[in-house]
Amino acid sequence: MDGTYDAKLAVQTISSNGKVTVTYAWGNLGDNYPGEAAGAGRIVGSTLKLERLPNGADVSFVMRPDGALAGTVTLAGQTYTGAFLKQ
């Protein structure tokens, strides 16, 4: 993301009403050390918005027309963006 750190998103469940559970993992990000957190969120249209993670990060994802997943992370007043590649 922004060429500054790596992150991974694994969607665990998706319900018919758009609620999701995920596992989100991140590398070094500012003063935040690498970590992993279980999370929950909701899909509305092409956007997946997670509830605030335990480290204080606000995370959202948008499916782009080219099939890539664009991510945005806001933490400690900084916003990071980037594309996720399907593995």
pLDDT at 6: 82
Q: How confident is the model at residue 45 (pLDDT cuts 50, 70, 90)?
A: very high
- Kindly report whether the global pTM for this prediction surpasses the value 0.85: no
Place of tokens 């559970």: 21
- Please determine, for residue 17, whether its predicted confidence score (pLDDT) is greater than 70: yes
Q: Assess contact for 43 and 60: CB atoms under 8 A.
A: no
Instruction: Single out the residue of 42, 38, 40 nearest to residue 16, CA to CA.
Output: 42
Q: Assess contact for 20 and 30: CB atoms under 8 A.
A: no
- Please determine, for residue 86, whether its predicted confidence score (pLDDT) is greater than 80: no
- Please determine, for residue 54, whether its predicted confidence score (pLDDT) is greater than 80: yes
Both structure tokens of 47: 């956007």
